[in-house]
Amino acid sequence: MILITIYGLDRFVTGRLSRELSKNLSKAYEVSEDELLFVGTENMVFHQGFEQTSWNAIIKVEAPHHLHDLEDTAKIVLLDGLKPYCINATILFSYFDDEHCHLETNDEYPRFISGENVVNINEEEYEDYDDEDEEHHHHHDDEEELFTGDIFEGLDL
């Protein structure tokens, strides 16, 4: 397992980077894409009291010791991939012994959620409704109205 945690970028950017970099990063490390996990955190990076989000990204890569010699290639993939999303980037590589990484999977489910097995709740929730149900259940986003009244009306504040 190779764990890539990104600080100082929006977690949704990390999701995008996971899609964009997994193929090349797995080639750099000579592993299956299933060995890569990206972690997008909800945090902010600060320097001398000033918030650094998207200005200074910090990437922590945790990988097995036997991949140490491939660090330079992985570094190039990461830095090239980060260029559109941050001004400056720091990468910290940490290594662990294989015997300190443990994986437990449930054989009844796929290991990862993917495009082939993701469940879209919105579509499935309403696919069995008929026209009569439609009259009683409004679920279209464009039909929602913004409340513009006084939410504190009637309260003694």
pLDDT tens, position by position, 101-117: 887 878 887 777 777 77
Q: In this structure, are residues 3 and 62 in contact, taking their beta carbons and an 8 Å threshold?
A: yes
Q: In this structure, are residues 71 and 93 in contact, taking their beta carbons and an 8 Å threshold?
A: yes
Domain boundaries, given as residue ranges, for the chain: 2-100
Question: How much is the pLDDT for 133?
Answer: 52
Q: Check if CATH label 3.30.429.10 holds for domain 2-100.
A: yes
Distance CA(45)–CA(151), nearest Å, equals 36
Q: What is the pLDDT of residues 132-147, one digit of tens each?
A: 555 555 555 556 777 7
Q: Residues 6 or more apart from 139 whose CB is under 8 A from it?
A: 122, 125, 126
pTM above 0.85, yes or no: no
Question: How much is the pLDDT for 125?
Answer: 54
Q: 46-47 and 50-51 as β-strands: parallel, antiparallel, unpaired?
A: antiparallel
Residue 41, pLDDT above cutoff 80: yes
Question: Is pLDDT larger for residue 10 or for residue 144?
Answer: 10
